Structure 1
Amino acid sequence: MKDSSKYYLTDHYSWVKTETGTFMCAHETADGLVYSVLSQDKHTLLEGNASYMEFKKNDKLVDSPSATYIYRMQCPNLWDCIGTNIIRQVIRASQAKNMYHTFSESIGERVSLTGGIHYHLFPSPQKVLETPDSTYQRMGMSFKRDALKSAARFILEHADRLEKIQAPDLLDELMKIHRVGSWTARATVADYTNELATYPYGDAAIRFYAREALPCHEWPKEEAAFIQELHKVAGAKNMSSSIATLIMVHEIKRG
């Protein structure tokens, strides 16, 4: 049954739109496959076993009626979070999303989900290391190869230990990976923990979302000034809910 007070975010690149218009995603974990299926309007969780975090909409960042409660899937696979944000580095969001899906469809494991629908998982660390350079070149990912392989080796070596580390220390650990700096580490931890306030929310994506949400407001272009203005407009106490609100508004306006 539809509940318009709820809205489920699909900003993580693992989400795909099916032929019927529903949305689905899946991740491999040590305990098996975790998946989720959403309705076409993203107001209803149809099925799945994924964990979600609830955020209350920040009304100060919305200029039209929308859902009160926002839900974001907690990505259960740290490797997927790292790999996704390495792919996001220094390229446009649309290009990064296409690259993520090309990568998954080319070398990721193919699994069957509800209704016999097939889904390609994000490639495992082992697969990333086994894949020859020529395949990365064919996928247009030669410039991502070294960083992905460095991260894959790090995960395989330290996976058990990393799963037990809390967010502040996890940031420091991730930045030990070659070509993983503060932005990538913070974006990764935000995806993995759903503590969205960890995300580097002065970046170009959030600045763009803020302009979409409140187009009549004069948002600073410079990162530090933008963060100060966002705190002023939204309130600095619960930035996770504010970031979730901006993502929701972006998804609604983009259809």
Structure 2
Amino acid sequence: MHVDAPAGCETAALEFDVVDPVDLKAPDAIADPLRAGGPVARLRNPDVWDTLGTAIVRQIIRAGIARKQYRAFCEAHGERHETSAGPTWLFPTPDVVLGLPDDAFQQLGMAIKARALRAAAEWVTKYGDEWAALSPEDFVTAVQRTPQIGPWSAHASVADRTNRYDLYPFADLAVRKWAGTLAPSITWPEEPREFGEMWQGMAGAQLSEWTLLTLAWGVRHANGGAAV
């Protein structure tokens, strides 16, 4: 499905996918809270650089802190756009990131991310168009040539671009946390590999749907009912 992009954006149309939990094949402990949340519509992020930058910001730290850092970084160094809901800021371009001094990262508590963001900015400048044309699976492999981009960041980036959440690192802390919160009656393994095997085995062909819906449920839960 498509939606017109806001004024000022270069992309003519943005694609989004709607995942309806009504057809979810899952135990009631999982399906009931997800169905109560209703369908989830998620925009695909068409910008390779933004998806990699977002993944880098999310490395190591908790999701709530990552969201604050991402927004602060955008407001400090990104391009401002006016929308009907108020101003918004784009993620700083590769050229901007490469021109930032160390202090700019330190002031936002992002000194640990400076090296990875600069490396990604350099590689996206060289290979971004090539990467954008790759299949999701080949994209995951190609972007890991970039210093500081490992499997987690590559898989998170491609899921952001494609809404293929079967490619998301579904054994990560976010999925484990929200699976345990929405279905506490199920005994979930604490070890990531064991959790991933169990999650994948239970979800089967609906791995993408299970993962996307669970993460969306978690965002709503964390934000006190705010929209995803």
Please say whether Structure 1 and Structure 2 have the same fold, judged by a TM-score greater than 0.5.
yes
Identity of aligned residues (%): 28
| 2:214 equivalent in structure 1 | 246
| 1:229 equivalent in structure 2 | 198
Q: Which has the higher strand share?
A: 1
The equivalences for 1:1-255 within 5 A come to 32=10, 49-57=13-21, 58=24, 60=26, 61-64=30-33, 65-114=35-84, 117-233=86-202, 235-254=203-222, 255=224
Partner letter of residue 152 of structure 2?
W
SS at match of 2:170: coil
SS at match of 1:180: coil
Uncovered stretches (5+) of structure 1, i.e. residues with no partner: 1-24, 35-48
Partner letter of residue 101 of structure 1?
R
- Give the superposition deviation at 1:101: 0.8
Q: How many residues align?
A: 213
Check conservation: 1:110, 1:119, Cα contact below 8 A: yes
- Give the superposition deviation at 1:232: 4.2
> Which stretch of the first structure deviates more once superposed, 222-231 or 84-93?
222-231
Partner letter of residue 62 of structure 1?
A
Check conservation: 2:131, 2:143, Cα contact below 8 A: no
What's the CA shift string for 1:18-47, capped at 9, x where partnerless? xxxxxxx97986xx157xxxxxxxxxxxxx
- Give the superposition deviation at 1:59: 5.5
Partner letter of residue 73 of structure 2?
F
Partner letter of residue 52 of structure 1?
F
Partner letter of residue 187 of structure 2?
E
> Which stretch of the first structure deviates more once superposed, 195-204 or 242-251?
242-251
1:69 and 1:142 map into 2 onto residues whose CA distance is: 38
Partner letter of residue 136 of structure 2?
A
- Give the superposition deviation at 1:253: 2.8
Q: CA RMSD in A?
A: 2.1
Partner letter of residue 120 of structure 1?
W
1:76 and 1:247 map into 2 onto residues whose CA distance is: 20
Give the 3 Å change call, closer, same or farther, for CA 165–199 of structure 1 in structure 2.
same
Check conservation: 1:55, 1:240, Cα contact below 8 A: no
Check conservation: 1:53, 1:194, Cα contact below 8 A: yes
Uncovered stretches (5+) of structure 2, i.e. residues with no partner: none
Give the 3 Å change call, closer, same or farther, for CA 81–28 of structure 1 in structure 2.
farther
SS at match of 1:50: strand
SS at match of 2:19: strand
- Give the superposition deviation at 1:145: 0.5
Partner letter of residue 166 of structure 1?
S
- TM-score with structure 2 length normalisation? 0.86
What's the CA shift string for 1:209-248, capped at 9, x where partnerless? 1011101111110112112322344x31121111122123
Check conservation: 1:27, 1:122, Cα contact below 8 A: no
- Give the superposition deviation at 1:191: 0.5
Q: Which has the higher helix share?
A: 2
1:241 and 1:150 map into 2 onto residues whose CA distance is: 32
2:43 and 2:49 map into 1 onto residues whose CA distance is: 16
